[in-house]
Amino acid sequence: NAGVMQNPRHLVRRRGQEARLRCSPMKGHSHVYWYRQLPEEGLKFMVYLQKENIIDESGMPKERFSAEFPKEGPSILRIQQVVRGDSAAYFCASSPPGSTANYGYTFGSGTRLTVV
């Protein structure tokens, strides 16, 4: 039973390019969460998605960032026109549908984005 898969593990982009980060949740999980961790800082919630729906995007920057979780395929976090301040580790977590009282989230290993 594979865990949450994130790819790529490391991504280098020049300023102004686009970054696409992918997250495949655990089998049977339909809830996906994205977090960002800036160097030497804590984890910050970005967005919560269910299949084909954004449930909570209160932590997403208003510009250049978008997320989707299509009916088929992985969840994608997209950052347009990257700047140096976007350099961070981006973590994805998933959880199963229904009551989450008996579950913690399962996190992936993260994507380290470096903007040069």
Partner 1 sequence: DAKTTQPTSMDCAEGRAANLPCNHSTISGNEYVYWYRQIHSQGPQYIIHGLKNNETNEMASLIITEDRKSSTLILPHATLRDTAVYYCIVRVAGGNQGGKLIFGQGTELSVKP
Closest CA to 80 of 19, 21, 37: 19
Query: d(Cα 92, Cα 24) in Å, to the nearest integer?
Result: 9
Considering the rule CB under 8 A, would residue 99 count as an interface residue with partner 1?
Answer: yes
Considering the rule CB under 8 A, would residue 52 count as an interface residue with partner 1?
Answer: no
Q: Which of 75, 105, 113, 115 binds partner 1 (CB under 8 A)?
A: 105
Helices (H), the chain: none
Query: d(Cα 15, Cα 22) in Å, to the nearest integer?
Result: 20
Half-sphere exposure of 48 (CA within 13 A, CB side): 10
Considering the rule CB under 8 A, would residue 109 count as an interface residue with partner 1?
Answer: yes
CB of 47 to partner 1, least distance (A): 9
Give the binding-site size for partner 1 (rule: CB under 8 A): 30
Q: Which of 25, 33, 67, 75 binds partner 1 (CB under 8 A)?
A: 33
Considering the rule CB under 8 A, would residue 93 count as an interface residue with partner 1?
Answer: yes
Identify the H or E element spanning 106.
strand 106-107
Give the interface with partner 1 as residue ranges (CB under 8 A): 4, 31, 33, 35, 37, 42-45, 48, 50, 55-56, 59, 89, 91, 93, 95, 97-101, 104-110
